[in-house]
Structure 1
Amino acid sequence: MSDAKFFAKGKAAELRVELKSDKKDKNFARRKTTLKRIVANMTMNNNEMIQLFPDILECMNVDSLEIKKMCFLYLINYARVKPDLANKALSTLLSDINDRSPLIRALALRTMSCVPLGTYARAIVEPLQDLLRDSDPYVRKTAAFGVAKLWAADPNLVEKSGLIESVNQLLVDSNPTVVSAGLAALSDITDKSDGMKLAIGYQDASKLIKILPDCNEWSQTYILTALMSYTPQDTAEALLMAERLSPRLAHSNASVILGTIRVMIYLTNYISDDSAVDMLVRRFGPPLVTLLSKPYEIQYVALRNCFLILQQYPYILQNNIKVFFCKYNDPIYIKVSKLEIIFLLASEENMPEILRELREYASEIDVQFVRKAVRAIGKLAIKIKGSARACIDTLLDLVATRVSYIVQEATIVIKNIFRKYPNKYESIITVLCKNLDSLDEPEAKAAMIWIIGQYADRIENSDEILDDFLFTFKEETIEVQLALLTATVKLFVQRPAKGQELVLQVLKWATEETDNPDLRDRGYMYWRLLSSSSGNADLTRQIVMGEKPAVTVESDKLDDKTLEELTLNIGSLASIYMRPVNQIFKGTKAKQLEQSPALRRAFSDGPVMTQQMNVTSSAAEDGEDDFADTGYRGPDVFAARGDLLSEA
């Protein structure tokens, strides 16, 4: 029976009959099949499955790990709906916590920590104290995560019971996976706590780096996250730690690679030698390029983080721009992300090959991507002054295709080019005027009207063109109406004889026949300006045709504070959305650079911590060489057992 067949809507009465014990049902094969159907229906939100709660409680006592897994999953899903019945399963779970099998002990513990009931939270405290010292490392690891889940449900209960101190003891465990689980639990607790933070010293950070090769991908990710709580005290210390971490860049897992980059970038803030920082960040290039050969979902994460890293260190991939050229079968979200990075890496030297590439993109069938490619060409003209002429020539070639959406996008970006380089490329206005029939979108119309108004004295029939646009003035969007109002005023200022009749007509419409307050207010403003300054054409011209702020592309770059915060969150959702972490995860504390003598720059307005979770070590006291060996030696690494919770 394939898994797909389980996802057929079932009736509770029929499934109840199949759950009854049968002596002929060897190894509980029929019951397992029935439970799979129940779990599948539960996944499909079939509310009839709630009626089977008493029958599931009976199945929990069956001595089968597979059956217990499905029954416990059912319990977690429906415990909140039927708390009275869920409490009846508590005795079974407490019995399983003392089972001889470590798998069943861990399963029972995980289930109890996931059930959202206060009775379960209170009942699990005492077993957790014992299971954190269990003989099996898998159980100890599960217990560490259980404390973190329990803290999320009831922080006061965890703090009063001393479970945090017990988790801290796991950091001296002989098993690297248990150590990483303890660090993950403490990191999760301190990230959501207003009164605690995790602080790791140099000696202990060194030991954590040593055990990285012995951990799986999950454990390495936990350790790398925890290493962000280590604060270097001098440049040599930070540089040595970064060097020790750099082999992790060759890992095959994307999360480990991005986690390593995050920690290394964090450490560069404590390295005063610019050449050393340059050497470290140049190592990011090859692993980032490697990630672009992964599946599309991983590619997207890598591209978003590349965009973030390149804003700070654009030179690390300056010579690898071709790896960001789009493939014909790339999804649109990959193409758009690559386009952003191409724009970021563009320079006068590589502009010819970039323009050739963008010219090809503009001939694709994906309209959305074509528009973005055309807009990118216009933005490059603004960004790189020396290549503006080549960009404009490329745009004119695209306009010559007379494809409506290409012409419209080109018109929009050419307007911005005119604003960036006033009185420089007016010769192309003639080409645009030949394609007025292709303009049917408000943004493109508004851009063309702005061009006509701005250069009304150089366009011979500017009054006729504006008159054609005014024919549908009342049916246009407010964006186009505002553009027409301003353009006719500019026409009148530059060519009074040609524009007098038009401006009076538009001002009448704007002030007497519109309900839009923005249009009406602007109309009154222009009317009063023209009335009060009659006889003083120079003053009117100076106001209406005054110099505009230059268009820039700096808005594509993040401000320094946001960039610094996001680089401390590389590999997370915050780096994908390009938003501060507290806007993505409510209640999460923003990461900041901790104060240190080695910090290259200081940031203020940091959160005030009242307690600190210290990972302590005796190695610093006896002068032990951290790098004398590469193996993890167990409890003696974290020998000190003093106050694990100290005032920060």
Structure 2
Amino acid sequence: MGVGHLQRKLRRIFNVPKKGENSEFRTGLVSQYSDERKDTIQRVIAAMTVGKDVSSLFPDILKNIATHDLEQKKLVYLYLMNYAKTNPELCILATNTFVQDTRDPNPLVRALAIRTMGCIRVDKMVDYLCIPLKETLNDDNPYVRKTAAICVAKLFDLNSKLCTEQGFIDTLLEMLDDSNQTVVANAISALLEISKMSDAKLLNVNGVILKRLLLTLNECTEWGRISILVALADYDTQDSGEVEKIVEKVTPQLQHENPAVVLSSIKVILKQLEKVSSDTRERMLRRLTSPLCSLLTNPPEIQYVALKNIRIILEKYPQILARDLQAFFIKYSDPLYLKLEKIDILVRISTKENASILLSELREYAMDVDIQVVNRAIEAIGQLSIKIESISKKAVDILYELYLNRSSYVLEELVVVIQNILRRYDTKYLPTVITVIADLNFDDIDTPEAVSSYIWILGQYCKEIPHLEDRLKVMSEQFGEMDPLAQSSALTCIVKVNLTKSSANTRQLLQKILNKATNEIENADVRDQAYIYWRVLSTDDKALQKKIIMRKLPTLETTIETFSPGLLDQLINEISNLGSVFYKPSSAFIKPKYSDSAFVNKKKLQSRKLEELQQMAKTEIVQNAARAENLLDFEDSDIENEDEGTPEFQDAETKEDDVKNPTANANQILDELSDLFAGMSTQTPAQKAGNKGPQKNNDILGPF
């Protein structure tokens, strides 16, 4: 017995359970050696940055906040900012240290403390933030003041009412006269952010403030310059003198190494172009060509954003980059997304003078190994031929050359481009392009756009297509499997053929396709189109049939996509912003604000009592029932019920009583709903057996 007991005791000694990583961290954080504690905090931050959950160490980290080691204090503050939301109660324990640090002799510590307090997004922190923030906004050190200015915007996000009542916004406006340029820039940034959050323009630029902004522009940091440029872009100049001053001060920023500063400067100048003469406008636009092209020397990701912004500018001023065609030529090392954007820009800046050079370049792109580049190059050749008539013959010859060296994906894009060329030039190049169509079959093309274009050409130029009936037969057999776009084209094609080149076979195919379209096709548009054609063809007026069906389409002027004038003006304001990349205004990224009458605010909903929510639900049910009853009341309104004892008058009295007592009516409606759906329960027999308690109609309100 003694030996066995000793063995078990030894086994317990050596079989120590393994400690987790957090346990090791906790041991290091309470070490008596400061170096070990600091090293452990560094390891905790490293684990936090890679996504590990170290929130359980919050109390132990908090114990290390009181230190004179600035590096350790930064690490602890970083941890607190990250996990403050998960431990809001414990985070409040650090407020005394924060307040003390805002009065530390070291300005770095003061700035660090006020920055951290602003970054802790906890409502309870607001009460402790106001006094230190007022002190740091009036600090002697500009580094502390500039940090506190940004903190005002963070406070406004947490509690806008308190921020306004305490006069912090007025303090920001006063800081525009600060002697330090960086403080002025941060004050402007904070005011712009608050303006976005409050939907009110707080920074009203006048002549005095404009002069201050222009003086600050060259003295502050690059990110401060962006804020100033945003304010200048929103400023409505009063006369040409102000325009010249703004352009003169902003022009040097076009050479800045930061692309964001360059784009913001371009935006400011573009906003002023409408207020100057045409000669001055041309001179200003020439100044922008070099900065725009220099953006293409940046990494691919920045080039992509630059090209998106250039696309917007070209829509407004098409000739601005006409002389810089080669700057947008594709490089071998460019990623795919960059190649596609460059081809789009090349087509837009093309002119009669450079079209021939561009066409030769696009021909090389059409022989690339990447399918998407090839298809986009072929599409660009078609766009160029439609845009500039003088090189259309050369473009058609290049397309025919590509057809001779064809592959399946080239053929599909070729067919779409050929349709557009025929829409633009009709029969001018028909002998060349009809050769391509004559050699194609339905097996050669797959995409809905290509099939639709191919069918359209068959119907529009049916007299020039050899073996037309064989192709139409295949079309009728595959009609049910086609995409709705191709089905719509097939209907138009077969009807046109019967009006221009009718035969017994084509009439039979017409009847077959119309029967399929009206009886087997689920798409409503295709079905309606078939019914319309059927009705038109059933008339005896052949002239009317041709007038409706054979009507010539308008000449295609361009296939290059453009923005609507209203959207273009909005996108000019979005240059250098995220909206310019997606071609959407900022309002498209902001959730709409709903009134309380339509929707209940989430915070208000959580704070209301259960009884109030039940009453709200019951009232809504009563109102919906009343609306439904009114909608279903089809009685003649002209019948007058003079007798008060009639059923109609009694119903009116009943409704009036129901309105006076909505709770009783709601309970009655809920009882009826429960009885109605009693036989439709989805519970299993076991669940039904377990529900022995009395059933209440108010159970429907349980989720509230």
Same fold (TM over 0.5): yes
Q: For the Cα contact (< 8 Å) 2:386–2:559, is it kept in 1?
A: no
| Aligned residue among 236, 244, 255 for 1:239 | 244
CA shift at 1:75, angstroms?
Answer: 1.5
CA shift at 1:321, angstroms?
Answer: 0.7
Q: Secondary structure at the match of 2:201?
A: coil
The residue type paired with residue 479 of structure 1 is: L
Q: What is the distance in 1 between the residues matched to 2:547 and 2:275?
A: 52
The residue type paired with residue 457 of structure 1 is: K
Aligned partner of 1:289 in structure 2 is 293
Q: What is the distance in 2 between the residues matched to 1:243 and 1:86?
A: 50
CA displacement 1:25-50 (0-9 Å, x = unmatched): 5xx2x434432332233334433x12
1:518 corresponds to 2:525: yes
Counterparts in 2 of 1:514 and 1:291: CA distance versus 1, 3 Å: closer
Q: For the Cα contact (< 8 Å) 1:144–1:181, is it kept in 2?
A: yes
CA displacement 1:455-514 (0-9 Å, x = unmatched): 112223212112123332222222222222221111111111141111011111112223
Query: Structure with the greater relative contact order (CA < 8 A, sep ≥ 6): 1 or 2?
Result: 1
Aligned partner of 2:101 in structure 1 is 96
Q: For the Cα contact (< 8 Å) 1:109–1:146, is it kept in 2?
A: yes
Q: For the Cα contact (< 8 Å) 1:200–1:230, is it kept in 2?
A: yes
Q: For the Cα contact (< 8 Å) 1:511–1:524, is it kept in 2?
A: yes
1:135 corresponds to 2:144: no
| Aligned residue among 4, 29, 33 for 1:19 | 29
Aligned partner of 1:404 in structure 2 is 408
| Aligned residue among 465, 470, 485 for 2:491 | 485
Q: What is the distance in 1 between the residues matched to 2:37 and 2:278?
A: 66
Q: For the Cα contact (< 8 Å) 1:491–1:499, is it kept in 2?
A: yes
Q: For the Cα contact (< 8 Å) 1:57–1:89, is it kept in 2?
A: yes
CA shift at 1:585, angstroms?
Answer: 4.3
The residue type paired with residue 419 of structure 2 is: K
Q: What is the distance in 2 between the residues matched to 1:510 and 1:384?
A: 40
Q: For the Cα contact (< 8 Å) 1:314–1:345, is it kept in 2?
A: yes
Q: What is the distance in 2 between the residues matched to 1:206 and 1:196?
A: 19
Q: What is the correspondence of 1:36-51 to structure 2 with a 5 Å cutoff?
A: 36-47=42-53, 49-51=54-56
The residue type paired with residue 345 of structure 1 is: I
CA shift at 1:174, angstroms?
Answer: 1.2
Q: For the Cα contact (< 8 Å) 2:365–2:374, is it kept in 1?
A: yes
| Aligned residue among 475, 480, 486 for 1:469 | 475
Q: For the Cα contact (< 8 Å) 1:198–1:229, is it kept in 2?
A: no
Aligned partner of 2:538 in structure 1 is 531
The residue type paired with residue 121 of structure 1 is: V
Q: Secondary structure at the match of 2:462?
A: coil
Counterparts in 2 of 1:196 and 1:10: CA distance versus 1, 3 Å: farther
Aligned partner of 2:512 in structure 1 is 505
The residue type paired with residue 160 of structure 2 is: P
Which ranges in structure 1 are unaligned for 5 or more consecutive residues? 1-8, 589-648
CA shift at 1:438, angstroms?
Answer: 2.3
For the aligned residues, what is the CA RMSD? 2.0
Q: For the Cα contact (< 8 Å) 1:305–1:570, is it kept in 2?
A: yes
The residue type paired with residue 55 of structure 2 is: I
Q: Secondary structure at the match of 1:199?
A: coil
CA shift at 1:523, angstroms?
Answer: 1.8
Q: Tell me which structure has the larger Cα radius of gyration.
A: 2
Q: Which runs of 4+ in 1 moved over 4 A?
A: 585-588
| Aligned residue among 323, 326, 331 for 2:330 | 326
CA displacement 1:229-249 (0-9 Å, x = unmatched): 433211122123212321222
Aligned partner of 2:10 in structure 1 is none
Which stretch of structure 1 is more off in the superposition, 446-455 or 262-271? 262-271
Which stretch of structure 1 is more off in the superposition, 294-303 or 560-569? 560-569
Q: What is the distance in 1 between the residues matched to 2:350 and 2:560?
A: 16
1:264 corresponds to 2:274: no
Q: Secondary structure at the match of 1:314?
A: coil
| Aligned residue among 423, 428, 438 for 1:424 | 428
CA shift at 1:283, angstroms?
Answer: 0.3
> Alignment identity in percent?
37
Counterparts in 2 of 1:554 and 1:407: CA distance versus 1, 3 Å: closer
CA shift at 1:107, angstroms?
Answer: 1.3
Corresponding pairs, count: 572
CA shift at 1:350, angstroms?
Answer: 1.0
| Aligned residue among 527, 547, 551 for 1:542 | 547
The residue type paired with residue 529 of structure 2 is: R
CA displacement 1:240-299 (0-9 Å, x = unmatched): 32123212222222122111111111222332x211121112100111111111111221
Q: For the Cα contact (< 8 Å) 1:80–1:116, is it kept in 2?
A: yes
Q: What is the distance in 2 between the residues matched to 1:280 and 1:487?
A: 52
CA displacement 1:557-589 (0-9 Å, x = unmatched): 22222222222232111222221121134579x
Which ranges in structure 2 are unaligned for 5 or more consecutive residues? 1-18, 594-704
Q: For the Cα contact (< 8 Å) 1:449–1:484, is it kept in 2?
A: yes
| Aligned residue among 431, 434, 449 for 1:443 | 449
CA displacement 1:59-83 (0-9 Å, x = unmatched): 2123222222222222222222221
Q: What is the distance in 1 between the residues matched to 2:279 and 2:20?
A: 67
Q: What is the distance in 1 between the residues matched to 2:201 and 2:165?
A: 15
Aligned partner of 1:595 in structure 2 is none
Aligned partner of 2:199 in structure 1 is 194
Q: What is the distance in 2 between the residues matched to 1:76 and 1:556?
A: 47
Aligned partner of 1:558 in structure 2 is 563
CA shift at 1:555, angstroms?
Answer: 6.2
Counterparts in 2 of 1:360 and 1:31: CA distance versus 1, 3 Å: farther
TM-score (norm 2): 0.78
Q: Secondary structure at the match of 2:204?
A: strand
CA shift at 1:449, angstroms?
Answer: 0.9
1:77 corresponds to 2:82: yes
Q: What is the distance in 1 between the residues matched to 2:451 and 2:532?
A: 23
1:392 corresponds to 2:396: yes
Q: Secondary structure at the match of 1:409?
A: helix
